[in-house]
Amino acid sequence: MSLVLVLSVDPDLSVLRPLGGFFVLRTGTAAPDDAEAPTLADAYRPGAEDDVLARRLHVVATRLRVGEPRVCASLAQQGLAARLWSVALGCAAVHGTVPDLDPALLRWDPEAGAPDDLLLTEVRPHPEPGGADAVADTVLHAHLAPLTATLRARYGVASGLLWGNAASALAGAARELDRWARAHGRTEVAQRAADLTGRLLAHPLLRGTGTRSGTAFRRRSCCLYYRVPGGGVCGDCCFVRPPRPSPGAASG
């Protein structure tokens, strides 16, 4: 059954559940608590009355005990990118199409963790087939481009760092899909995920962010996680060991 048909009869988007919690997305009419939550469109809008991004950064700062706004912005952006990639890439690889993830349809609780942070209030298929162009339109253009612009303007985070985060999050979602597909004898899903990921990493916004070998990815920038107390370098970081930062600096 294609995802177009599944979506038309499955408003819970339960087709993602077998892939694991990394891919789960809540769906349905907003409950009273959810109805108060802003949308991602609100979060990306400059000068919004409810400063959604600042609330998310405060949560990151508190949980990780880090005081540098650029570090918090980087880690918050990478986490949100991972959530969006997992849904779009998972649907495209398994079912050949993707749901419409219009920012106005996604309510976001900036104080919650995955998978409870996002709620898709209307499940409908993206109008294009689920190839790389549809995934790029759904995630890169609709979400990560406006989010990158906002974080650059407000927190001074380097664009190369943020697009490196986006590529890293994509590669992570692809690895999770590959692991699930091979564990369940779905080698065709693993192949589609690999093909889609390769095409997406060749997109102008992600091209040059790193090098890929199989499911491994080595980025050319750093997400700044090493600046979190007790943090280090990630498995795909451009650094092999944490650099010694200059006081007050947070370069990427």
The values of phi and psi at residue 30, to 5°, are: -65, 130
Which pLDDT does position 3 carry in this prediction? 44
Please classify residue 35 by burial: count the beta carbons closer than 10 Å to its beta carbon, then call 0-12 exposed, 13-18 middle and 19+ buried.
exposed
Q: What is the per-residue pLDDT for 50?
A: 59
Helix and strand numbers, DSSP H then E, in the chain: 9, 5
Domain extents in the chain: 3-227
Full pLDDT tens readout for the chain, 252 residues: 334 434 443 556 666 888 888 888 888 765 546 667 899 999 998 765 558 899 999 999 999 999 999 999 999 999 999 999 999 999 899 888 888 999 999 999 999 888 789 999 988 888 777 789 999 999 999 999 999 999 999 999 999 999 999 999 999 999 999 999 999 999 999 999 999 999 999 999 999 999 999 999 999 999 999 999 998 999 999 998 888 755 554 444
Strands 106-108 and 118-120 come out as antiparallel
The pLDDT value recorded for residue 250 is 45
* CA atoms of 55 and 53, how far apart (whole Å): 5
pLDDT of residue 31: 57
Q: Report the alpha-carbon angle 109-114-120, nearest 5.
A: 60
pLDDT of 142? 97
Q: Is this prediction's pTM over 0.75?
A: yes
